[in-house]
Structure 1
Amino acid sequence: MRVTILQPHTGPIPGQHYLPAEGAALTWGRLPTPDRKPALTVTSGQTVTIDTISHEGLMEDQGRDPRAYFAEHGVSASDVLTDLVDLAASDVVHTRGPDGPHVVTGPIRVDGARPGDILKVEYLDLQPRVPYGVVSSRHGLGALAGELPVDDETGTPVPRISQYCSVDLGARAATMRWATGSATFPIDPFMGLAGVTPDTTEALNTIPPGVHGGNMDVRDLSGGSTLYLPVQVDGAGFYTGDPHFAQGNGEVSLTALEASLRTTVRLTVLRPDAAFASVGALTGPFGETDEHWIAIGMDRDLDEAAKKCVREAIRILGEVAEVPQSVAYLYLSAAADLVVSQVVDDVKGVHCLIRKKDFPAWA
């Protein structure tokens, strides 16, 4: 059975609003700034369906010609997203290095949001737009920068390796093939990059995450999860990008299984008093699912990222579950899971999964 390709403006669009990945709604390699005109304006509590596009197959070292790139892997021209093709053919200037690789859709203004508020982002639906994706490594980047990638036959360094993967959307599984074998693994789509507009006049590179959110690559923030972000500027200016079909914690080679998604979110503004019951006095990104609180720590030093994550986990347990600091510290050691989110984004990430059911009031 032929898989439906979710081209712009086609297929299911469950949100109250729709933001395609087109024209002024896109930035490539940079985050929106406060003076950027909103691509869409919504009221608190409304839902938005957002098209996002993967940078893989678009990058300059892959030819900046998605149809030609994917044709090499047997993908017909009609099965390549037209918004990806249009961006590749546009006059948008993208310089790898000063600019990150990620294509960002947004910003979305949420009426009434102001600094001091919390933007609650509920991931209602994450639909693959295509039945394929790509995993890449580029020399000088990744967990083994300077060591890999190399040519498997000669052992000499190569500037880039990219692995095309076919995806069975019905089975929710991706397959990676090589000359003598294959590996099949499950997919669980999520947005690698989501945030609010930073309070800075400089258009920040998309690679390092920060208090605004951004490129956090926390794979547990998949369908059904919620992300909380401290609002930095009036209107919040929500954006998202870097769609993933699957990722191992750590994201060690550089990328996850990168592939385009149609994402539906509910955007709700929480005033400080209302936010406190859910997230306490939040100063950076925080997540939750039905089962877990997700404390997030970020720093250029992985050890410091872990420390920040533990401090954040202790804070949330104290402010939301009313656990004394010393008890929370011991509980985390006995029962919580500290996970390396990613080690490849300059600012590294660690997140902590805390089971809500361990606390009677939240069971």
Structure 2
Amino acid sequence: MPENIFPLDSSKPFDDQQKLGHNRWHPEIPPIATVKPGDSFRVDCREWFDGAIVNDDSADDILNAPLLTVHKLSGPIAVEGAKPGDLLIVDILDVGPIPQEDSGPLAGQGWGYTGIFAKNNGGGFLTDEFPDAYKAIWDFTGQVATSRHIPEVAFEGLIHPGLMGTAPSAELLATWNAREGALIATDPHRVPPLALPPEPREAVLGGLAASEFDRVAGEAARTAPPRENGGNQDIKNLSKGTRIFYPVFVDGANLSVGDLHFSQGDGEITFCGAIEMGGFIDLRVEVLAGGMETYGVSENAIFMPGRVEPRFSEWLAFSGTSVTLDGEQRYLDSHLSYQRACLHAIDYLVKFGYTPEQAYLLLGAAPIEGRLSGVVDIPNSCATVYLPTAMFEFDVRPSASGPHQVTQGVPAPRAANA
């Protein structure tokens, strides 16, 4: 096993660990360790809410999820010799739930969760149609996930980090804050908000000196979106065996990682749409000097996905076009097209006895495939969502016998005061 340079004790909160990570992006957050090119190492990761979501049949914890506290990131990790303009090569050697802890109160100890976030606390891809908070708990058996809240489905997870990236430079951070602030100003009271500005409350900034804390906390960027440094990209294919090439913006690159997922559908459509968990990730790093200019990678990572995807061979696919639910025509709106494709899949699954919320949770958690299928045929773009048929314990295809009716057990819980 590689040396664990960021161990986590499951009996203690993230903020009380021997080494303190962070939950904001800023170039001045000091590294917790330094590694050399060619080194392999392990990093423990806490799920993004640090135990605030529990294994029960209530969604009140999702309703009241403390969004100001996320994400709990392990790092930064400096790489000796990395300079701005280089590419940091990161190989994912292994990734999985919390080792040797297959039961316990933390997500990753044999279980994980998926949530539909309330519209006034984060929302989601389909928040206008699903404004209330719901939750599903998933149990892990090897690589397979099942849920008491979504009956008659089982699927192999494609385990991956939802969030990994390098630290921004001061100039890049200022760019983020300026452009996102300008967007917020166009509709400052929107629910959910258009973007998340710097927020000093609940900021965790690693080993930063106390004298600098207030200033840095007021500048540091929230970790919710993906940006030029990688960040919260939620790419389900960043799995074991993946090689990623990250732009370097500061000396040492300062790599951070967290937000591990047991499984996720393309888009992570419920916002907390993956099966969230804590766990471990084994990495190896190299530095490609001057790689940003050499390969034209001035922003955003490129990657070579691993070869460990579940072997689904048959799919049931749904399409959608850029027309709103009330019939308004939009011009080549691929975001809307994917929403409509997902809604069509949900409508279909309801015919088999699932509630709309169960179907929505399933699309977020299962390894569905989302594709932009047509982006040139004015005025309608076309997006498609592919459901692997093998994840259902019944024949989900249309047939003359009509849709099978699932046997409901514990329904996906809805927040009591939603």
TM-score category by the smaller chain?
Answer: 0.5 to 0.7
SS in structure 2 at match of 1:36: coil
Q: Which amino acid aligns with 1:194?
A: M
* Structure richer in strand, relative to its length: 1
Residue of 266, 286, 290 corresponding to 1:268: 286
1:102 corresponds to 2:119: no
The CA distance in 1 between the partners of 2:73 and 2:42, in whole Å, is 14
Q: Which moved more, 1:16-25 or 1:126-135?
A: 16-25
User: Which structure is higher in RCO with an 8 Å CA cutoff and minimum separation 6?
Assistant: 2
The CA distance in 1 between the partners of 2:255 and 2:242, in whole Å, is 17
Task: Report if aligned partners of 2:247, 2:292 keep a CA contact under 8 Å in 1.
Answer: no
The CA distance in 2 between the partners of 1:281 and 1:220, in whole Å, is 20
Q: Which residue of 2 aligns with 1:50?
A: 43
Residue of 243, 250, 254 corresponding to 1:233: 250
Residue of 144, 164, 176 corresponding to 2:126: 144
Identity of aligned residues (%): 29
Q: Which residue of 2 aligns with 1:332?
A: none
Task: Report if aligned partners of 1:38, 1:108 keep a CA contact under 8 Å in 2.
Answer: yes
Segments of 5+ residues of structure 1 without an aligned counterpart are 1-13, 63-68, 74-94, 150-157, 292-301, 306-336, 341-349, 351-363
Q: Using a 3 Å threshold, how does the CA distance of structure 1 residues 101 and 124 change in structure 2: closer, same or farther?
A: same
> 1:23 Cα deviation (Å)?
4.5
Listed one character per residue, the Cα deviations across residues 62-121 of structure 1 (whole Å, up to 9, x for unaligned) are 4xxxxxx33x47xxxxxxxxxxxxxxxxxxxxx945x36321000001111110000001
Q: Which residue of 1 aligns with 2:321?
A: none
The CA distance in 1 between the partners of 2:69 and 2:301, in whole Å, is 21
Q: Which amino acid aligns with 2:115?
A: S
The CA distance in 1 between the partners of 2:20 and 2:285, in whole Å, is 17
Q: Using a 3 Å threshold, how does the CA distance of structure 1 residues 19 and 178 change in structure 2: closer, same or farther?
A: closer
> 1:253 Cα deviation (Å)?
1.2
Q: Which residue of 1 aligns with 2:339?
A: none
Q: Which amino acid aligns with 1:15?
A: P
Q: Using a 3 Å threshold, how does the CA distance of structure 1 residues 270 and 139 change in structure 2: closer, same or farther?
A: same
The CA distance in 1 between the partners of 2:266 and 2:141, in whole Å, is 22
Please, what TM-score do these two structures have when normalized by structure 1? 0.60
Provide runs of 4+ in structure 1 moved above 6 Å: none
SS in structure 1 at match of 2:47: coil
The CA distance in 2 between the partners of 1:43 and 1:247, in whole Å, is 32
Q: Using a 3 Å threshold, how does the CA distance of structure 1 residues 230 and 303 change in structure 2: closer, same or farther?
A: farther
Pairs within 5 Å for 1:1-363: 14-21=1-8, 22-28=17-23, 30-31=24-25, 33-56=26-49, 58-59=51-52, 62=53, 69-70=54-55, 72=56, 96=66, 99=68, 101-129=70-98, 130-140=109-119, 141-149=123-131, 158=132, 160-169=133-142, 172-178=143-149, 181-200=151-170, 202-255=219-272, 256-272=274-290, 276=294, 279-289=295-305, 339=371
The CA distance in 2 between the partners of 1:248 and 1:338, in whole Å, is 8
Q: Using a 3 Å threshold, how does the CA distance of structure 1 residues 108 and 162 change in structure 2: closer, same or farther?
A: same
> 1:188 Cα deviation (Å)?
1.4
The CA distance in 2 between the partners of 1:273 and 1:166, in whole Å, is 42
The CA distance in 2 between the partners of 1:139 and 1:162, in whole Å, is 11
